Structure 1
Amino acid sequence: MTHSYARPDDADVAIAAARAGADVVRGMYGQRLARIDKGAGDFATPADVEAEETIIASIRAARPDDAVLGEEGGRQGPTAAREWLVDPLCGTLNYSVGTMLVAVNVALRNGAAAVADPFSGEVFFTDGETARVRHEGADAQLAPTSTTQLVDMNLDAPFPSAPGFRTVDLLAHPAFAEHFRPRVVSTTLALAWVASGKRAAYVTDGSALHDSVHFAAGIAVCRAAGCVVTGIDGDPIGQASRGLVAAADAETHGLLMSMIRGRGSGGTA
């Protein structure tokens, strides 16, 4: 879905900004970085802050009249119909302990988006209509598939939909073990992997994910690639939806929803 305020080259802006942030993240990797406490066990590092500043500078250079919402700095710039959502380092805990499973997310609300992997060099992106991956100067169309049977799950507490649903409960569901194999990446990079066929699906709980700086870019790429994306209740992603189920195809989505609904209705795992 392309916003009425989108421009043909917004994807280029998203890609450039995500790459700029990824360069910072990669360049600071392995350093002993201070933890900036954000409460409730969450934290940022100087890499998060510097990457966000670099991303915003890149967006500002190309789109000075647009608004920006960053995870670390909040809403910045003019009040505008066009707003960019920035998560400069998704997977901060992974990054802080030397695990190279992180993503840099940049999305124009309801428009172009890019998810950069700082360590593989891949940039997964959409212009709002199609989805591609850029790697080593070449672009390839994303082709989601459930062939891997790997399903990524966000198992982090809290569990806002408990006791009706907890992502962790899927692990004990006999049908899950029959059809899928779990993985835990702990970053929304997994959404880009669903779009590219590296994962069959991704499941997480939570609220207001559609306009989240963490999820907006990954959701946009998945949708443009043709994935099936809903909340854990099966409803379209929106302000009132809960959680996220992004699947490579309708069959995979249907299987996961049958397990989730079974838990929510009191079924046994």
Structure 2
Amino acid sequence: MSDLLDLARTIALEAGELAARRRREGVEIAATKSTIVDVVTEADREVERLILDRIREARPDDGVLGEEGASVPGSSGLAWVVDPIDGTVNYLYGLPHYAVSIAIVELPEGGGDPDPLTWTSKVGVVLNPASGELFTAEVGAGAFCGDRRLHVGEPVSLDLALVATGFAYAASTRAFQGDVVARLLPQVRDIRRQGTASLDLCFVADGRYDAYFERTLSPWDHAAGALIAREAGARVTGMRGAAPSRDFILAAEPSVAAALEALLDELGEFEDF
């Protein structure tokens, strides 16, 4: 384990303990963001402040991109991409499927803001505080759940594939996505929607899902999970072979990914909302 991975792991565990403690004490909505269903809790903000403080103490020259506004420039060429509580609605309702997601990415020469289209992922850590599962990966060194090495599932035909997805916050976009999923459902084994993108990607890495796809994700939603899935052998791609981004992300065993991408294209998933 490198020093960077060890640090990210340590910070995630401390942040997860705080998130779990605040969940036990009771959670209230602090604000809404893009729509009424896009919520943020005081715990989101408190956990992100803790993560930022720990990063600045240990690596003051690194940049940070955080979901709740804790974003600072850096000079080291590395940036931390942080989602303090991924799956906030699950967290709000007491559903044990939420995560602390922390990635460390290398920025292109010249720096700039962290962008999934140009960064190089170095480290990914995703912790589910409710279950205690800790998923980690370092580029070129594989992916793990605790000490157990992760491997993407075996190739399957789409009619035997368990596929996970998620939906956007805007009502019109959700309607479009629902239509695509309705037409996809008869052609796969089944569909799951659990509401935490970082964990969905980790479940692909562990073979619990055969595939996962989604649109409108922010960088902090997929930065860590995408590396974990990739290091477990998944193909992680954006729309029509581009890098994963807000436009689209798909993760699956490579042959499953190719078949699902072609089917989603046929079903109109890549059309404008």
Please state if 1:8 is matched with 2:5: no
Instruction: String of CA shifts for 1:114-135, please: whole Å, max 9, x gaps.
Output: 0111111111111112333343
After superposition, the Cα gap between the structure-2 partners of 1:160 and 1:260, relative to the gap in structure 1 and judged at 3 Å, is farther
What is the deviation of 1:261?
Answer: 1.3
The equivalent position to 2:148 in structure 1, one of 117, 130, 140, is 140
TM (norm. structure 2) is 0.81
Q: Which residue of 2 aligns with 1:254?
A: 258
CA shift, 1:161, in A, is 7.8
Matches within 5 A, 1:11-26: 11-26=5-20
CA RMSD, 1 decimal: 2.8
- Structure 1: give runs of 5+ residues left out of the alignment: 1-6
Paired residues, what number? 249
Residues of 1 paired with 2:57 and 2:269: CA distance?
51
CA distance in 1, matches of 2:49, 2:255: 41
For the residues of structure 1 that align with 2:42 and 2:170, how far apart are their CA atoms?
26
Kindly indicate whether residue 250 of structure 2 is the aligned counterpart of residue 245 of structure 1.
yes
Report the CA distance shift for 1:74/1:171 in structure 2 as closer, same or farther (over 3 A).
same
Whether 2:132 is the aligned partner of 1:125: answer: no
1:36 to 17, 25, 31: 31
Once the two structures are superposed, the pairs formed by residues 89-238 of structure 1 within 5 Å of their partners are 89-109=85-105, 110-135=121-146, 139-145=147-153, 149-158=161-170, 166-173=176-183, 176-188=185-197, 189-206=199-216, 209=218, 212-231=219-238, 233-237=239-243
Q: List 4+ stretches of structure 1 deviating above 4 A.
A: 159-163
> Per the alignment, in what secondary structure is the counterpart of residue 106 of structure 1?
strand
Q: Identity percentage over the alignment? A: 29
Aligned residues of 2:67 and 2:82 also touching (Cα < 8 A): yes
Q: Is the 2:29–2:39 Cα contact (8 Å) retained in structure 1? A: no
1:215 deviation in Å?
1.2
CA distance 1:58–1:131, change in 2 (3 Å): farther
Which deviations, in whole Å up to 9, do the C-alpha atoms of 1:153-175 show, x marking residues without a partner? 11234389899xx443343336x
Given candidates 43, 49, 61, the residue that maps to 1:47 is 43
Query: What amino acid is the match of 1:250?
Result: P
| Larger helix share, 1 or 2 | 2
Q: Give deviations 1:84-125, integer Å, cap 9, x for gaps.
A: 011000111111111111111100112111011111111111
Q: How far apart, in 2, do the equivalents of 1:199 and 1:265 lie?
A: 20
Deviation at 1:62, TM superposition (A): 2.5
User: 3-state SS of the aligned residue for 2:248?
Assistant: strand
Offset at residue 214 of structure 1 (A): 1.5
Encode CA deviations 1:167-193: one digit per residue, 9 max, x unaligned.
Answer: 43343336x434321011111111111
In 2: Cα distance, 1:178 partner to 1:34 partner: 38
Paired amino acid for 1:28: R
Unaligned runs of 5+ in 2: 106-120
Q: Greater shift after overlay, 75-84 or 215-224?
A: 75-84
Tell me the secondary structure at the aligned position of residue 214 of structure 1.
Answer: helix
**For residue 53 of structure 2, what is the aligned residue in structure 1?**
57
Alpha-carbon contact 1:144-1:196 (below 8 Å) kept: yes
